[in-house]
Structure 1
Amino acid sequence: MSSVDLARTVVATLLDQGVRHVVLAPGSRNAPLALALATADRAGQLSLHVRVDERSAGFIALGLARATGGVVAVVTTSGTAVGNLLPAVMEARHAGVGLLVLSADRPASMIDSGANQTTRQDRLLGEHALACIRVASESGGVADWRAQVARAVVLASGARTRQPGPVQVNVELAAPLVDPQVLVPVEVGPGLQVLSAQPAGVVVLPAGPRTVVVAGDASAAVGAAAVEFAGQLGAPLLAEPSSNARRGRCAVAAYRLLLPRFADRIERVVVFGHPTLSRPVTALLSRQDVELIMVAPGAEWIDPGHAASRVVDAVRAGAPGPGDWLAEWLAADREVAQGLDADGGLRRALTRALWASFGPEDVVVLGSSNPIRDADLAPIAEQGPQVFANRGLAGIDGTLSTGIGVALGSGRPVTVVVGDLTLLHDVSALGIGDLERRPDLRVVVLDDHGGSIFAGLEQGAADYAEHFERVFATPQAVDLAAVAAGFGAGVVQVANPDDLAQEMARPVHGVEVVHVRLPR
């Protein structure tokens, strides 16, 4: 069997198992995969997205997977190319996103020989990948390869394990790498039929204990479940922006500021998603004197304080809780909101203008620094946008690429809200190839000249002021507008909330950057 046979079998199996988006970073060793995928794309069998930077390609695949809910493949050549996928793989592992890494490699006989771009890459992603499966053109045949790749897709989907995540398929390809047969479209078959593992039943929770519902980073479906349960119980809903639950009559906008006031009276906490944003919530989830119920539809659950009382698949309220409990929270929330509006300054006003522009049809990707924390104090909307954020590990790298993947996967305009350092981390993602599909993407950059988020942490204390600017704030003199324009993005400069609201009211066409300057 040849490398072309293996590449065509891999692509056919992806199609058989329902994979419809693949991100490719070009190279030499992955040539047969690249040509087989391009042929499938031209035949309308899948959508191929080509990027020159593997790190960006990984996060675009991550965004595609989050937007579509399916497994998305990312293909690299051998060597350091595979290592550049590690940040996206780490995020996918902790966020439970189905990502299939197809890493082209040389034959096993060439390992440790000093051959060009050859290293031990089959386990390079380590424990961050759920598994590493090897297929080789010099070993096995079509039936073996199909079975292995199908198993990898199913494992990445979490269909049997209830734990989706990244899986590596190391594709060992011997020369010759191409022949004209690679340009013949593959046939799509029925694929491996795998029934999903079924969750357990719904647990009915009685009314009585003073309960709060905490919603962290989650899918739209999980967010909707949190909103529904809080409404059934009439309990305060403490929802982060990327929980997709920050709406409705029970949602408390300034919950992180109110928790110290109410914490001693809380008797039960029901947790949806993956809360990561605030220390008051982390402190609440670490208490041993309250009942902590973790709602986890997957095989894993969060428990940062090692204090969980129960882990369940789903919950329903047996009866409404005490009405005065929610009323107290909402009254306090209105009081705090008035103070924030009076004293919040330009940043608060810009945040209000930005979030007032979003409706239920909008899609937003938030950077993991100040923008998501600003949104965490924004007023509650009756029906807010769908929100994504990379909160599995809460890194700022790859945020623009994730937004591009979400836009390509959803087929809808996407607004990405980031700080200046987050933009610099991933600005090359704006360099979309001439032959590639361009998303409708608006990037709102809140530029406060460095990492101002650290000022609110311990290192922002006066004792460390001598070194703060250099080793934490890291101010930079990059002209972000000029850089974005150099990558072909349309650029608009905004100075105040009214101008921002006017800009946000325009439809998004192509890739554009809205640059907002802020004082530190």
Structure 2
Amino acid sequence: MTSSTAMARVLVDELVRGGVTDAVFCPGSRNAPLAFALHDADAAGRLRLHVRIDERTAGFLALGLALRSGRPVPVCTTSGTAVANLHPAVLEASYAQVPLIAVTADRPAQTIGTGASQTIVQEGIFSGAVRLAATGTVAGGNASWRALVGRVLAAATGGPPGPVHLNLPFAEPLVPGPSVEVPDGRPGGAPWTAVPPVVRSAPPLPLDPAAPTLVIAGTGTPRFSVDAPVVAEPSSAMWPGSLRAGPWLLDAVRPAQVVVAGRPTLHRSVARLLADPDVAVHALADPHGGPWTDVPGTVRAVGSLPEITSPAGWRERWCELDERASAVLDAAALPTGLQLARDLVAALPDGAQLVLGSSNPVRDVALAAVPRTGLTVQSNRGVAGIDGTVSTAVGAALAHDGPSYALMGDLTLLHDTTGLVIGPDEPRPDLTIVVLNDGGGGIFGLLEQGAPEHTAAFERVFGTPQTVDLAALCAAMGVEHVPGLPLDPPSGIRVAEVRAERASLRDGHAALREAVRAALA
């Protein structure tokens, strides 16, 4: 067996022993040893292989698989620009603490800088975005290769979890020789190096236990019990028990102290609250050792949550305001995006998963939907980009035991159309992608650049109108297209298109804000 083949087969064997159940692969020549090793592992039922032709799509597919499963997922590429195409997914995984493993084939070191084809400097390409950057060597041998995988998995799942780069210079020949036996690992399928999970403890926060306290929960929040009102983002584990109209209430009533959990990023009303010098802001420590959120620099302490006892009437006051605002949200003629978000979340069956696109969809759910149990909500809020959302949703659906849905805008879909290109031999999820098609970038109409004084420039450079026929696009991709919002369980992948217009979006949101403000007065 050639040295490159031996290394690839040992690495794949040890990844499986370490808990890897899915791997994503993009075709190439230099990564041929990994292709054969992964194909054989898939054929033996040891892992599930997903092959994609686009490395950027592959990176987000692996991210979606890891996001839902919580297990590390390798994405394997050939050398050169193929590696660079993983960078967006690596960045999202880094800030969202998702255990993604970028396994990149490389040319032998002596070819770097010689003008060799498809050759760049790959070591360090992801810079500080990865928890570990390691390089394997074909001269390492069985024990060295297996120990390397142990370090890679420990870094990907450690404190905090995140992406790892494993760069593998493969020397020719790149295809297997006559012998394909894998050098022995530990007996019984055990990993070569057993590494315990990293869990950190922190002292209790120095809170006033009787002060009016509010919890702000963002993505990455662990679920916990607290005797205080909670304003949570949809992708937070605290969302099911949170105030439905929480983001609308923050300018109407102020707590004495706030506990920030996870990474809230959606609402300007939250940002204003956390920047208020009259509010004592504290942060809940990440059990994996990740950083805390403190954009305005107001956090006074980081720690664990002590016992809190809400003052008489404090929670009741928030619940009363929540009911008033919710009544407005239920009675008003909502903009299409808010209405779609409200109706979709309410209609999904228990056990379903919902992946929310960035920009308006995740905010629409936060502003209009009723928080509920029985639903797993995911969203790429690490860097909060729109790229890779289709692929993330496909990956998350493949890792979910139940029906999956995604809600995104038309530009988000078009930004990742290759996420719909799935080969005939590849695993396909049951996934309905609900697309709010308003012919451009709706969120910008709600921001400062959407003000009337910027009308002359707005539509071309911010609205970015598009006229793509989504039905024809889906037909070309071999994906079912349906108009409106189907609620029957999906079979395979389908795109459900809901039409909307952007012209009245800004005024519609403004009118809704005024109606809620009047109800809370």
Q: Shared fold (TM-score greater than 0.5)?
A: yes
Q: Give unpaired runs (5+ residues) of structure 2.
A: 503-521
Counterpart for residue 497 of structure 1: none
Normalised TM-score (structure 2): 0.91
Q: Give unpaired runs (5+ residues) of structure 1.
A: 495-499
Distance 1:57 1:347 in 2: 29
Q: CA deviation at 1:381?
A: 3.8
Q: Is the 8 A contact 1:214 1:270 kept in 2?
A: yes
Give the partner amino acid of 2:299.
A
Equivalent residue in structure 1 for 2:356, among 366, 373, 377 = 366
Equivalent residue in structure 2 for 1:210, among 203, 209, 212 = 212
Counterpart for residue 55 of structure 2: 54
Counterpart for residue 436 of structure 1: 426
Counterpart for residue 237 of structure 2: 244
Query: For each residue in 1:208-263, what CA deviation from the matched residue of structure 2 results, as whole angstroms up to 9, or x when unmatched?
Result: 111111111126xx1x22xx22xxx1x22101111132223xx222222221111x
How many equivalent residue pairs?
493
Counterpart for residue 518 of structure 2: none
Q: CA deviation at 1:343?
A: 3.7
Counterpart for residue 298 of structure 2: 307
Aligned residue for 1:261, secondary structure, equals coil
Aligned residue for 1:303, secondary structure, equals coil
Distance 1:423 1:57 in 2: 16
The reply on whether 1:171 has 2:168 as its aligned counterpart is yes
Q: Is the 8 A contact 1:61 1:405 kept in 2?
A: yes
Change (3 A) 1:338 1:408: same
Counterpart for residue 457 of structure 1: 447
Aligned residue for 2:240, secondary structure, equals coil
Q: CA deviation at 1:76?
A: 0.3
Q: CA deviation at 1:47?
A: 1.1
Q: Is the 8 A contact 2:480 2:495 kept in 1?
A: yes
Q: CA deviation at 1:128?
A: 1.1
Distance 2:88 2:443 in 1: 22
The reply on whether 1:155 has 2:155 as its aligned counterpart is yes
Q: Is the 8 A contact 1:98 1:164 kept in 2?
A: yes
Change (3 A) 1:380 1:323: farther
The reply on whether 1:326 has 2:327 as its aligned counterpart is no
Query: For each residue in 1:262-287, what CA deviation from the matched residue of structure 2 results, as whole angstroms up to 9, or x when unmatched?
Result: 1xx32111122110001111222233
Change (3 A) 1:466 1:254: same
Give the partner amino acid of 2:470.
L
Distance 1:408 1:388 in 2: 13
Q: Is the 8 A contact 2:198 2:288 kept in 1?
A: no
Q: CA deviation at 1:371?
A: 0.8
Give the partner amino acid of 1:418.
M
Query: For each residue in 1:15-49, what CA deviation from the matched residue of structure 2 results, as whole angstroms up to 9, or x when unmatched?
Result: 22221211001111000011001101111111111
1:97-496 map, 5 Å: 97-137=98-138, 139-158=139-158, 162-180=159-177, 184=181, 189=186, 190-191=190-191, 192-200=193-201, 203=204, 207-218=209-220, 222=222, 224-225=223-224, 228-229=225-226, 233=227, 235-248=228-241, 251-262=242-253, 265-295=254-284, 296-299=286-289, 300-312=291-303, 314-318=304-308, 320-340=309-329, 341-494=331-484
Distance 1:343 1:404 in 2: 33
Aligned-residue CA RMSD (Å): 1.8
Change (3 A) 1:81 1:489: same
Q: CA deviation at 1:359?
A: 4.1
Distance 1:408 1:457 in 2: 35
Change (3 A) 1:288 1:456: same
Aligned residue for 2:345, secondary structure, equals helix
Distance 1:253 1:47 in 2: 39
Q: Is the 8 A contact 1:103 1:169 kept in 2?
A: yes
Distance 1:82 1:259 in 2: 44
Q: CA deviation at 1:206?
A: 5.4
Q: Is the 8 A contact 2:6 2:182 kept in 1?
A: no
Give the partner amino acid of 1:444.
V
Q: CA deviation at 1:184?
A: 4.9
Q: Is the 8 A contact 2:199 2:287 kept in 1?
A: no
Give the partner amino acid of 1:154.
A
Aligned residue for 2:239, secondary structure, equals coil
Q: CA deviation at 1:186?
A: 7.1
Distance 1:407 1:351 in 2: 19
Give the partner amino acid of 1:207.
P
Distance 1:43 1:184 in 2: 14
Q: CA deviation at 1:379?
A: 3.8
Aligned residue for 2:497, secondary structure, equals strand
Percent of aligned pairs with the same amino acid: 44
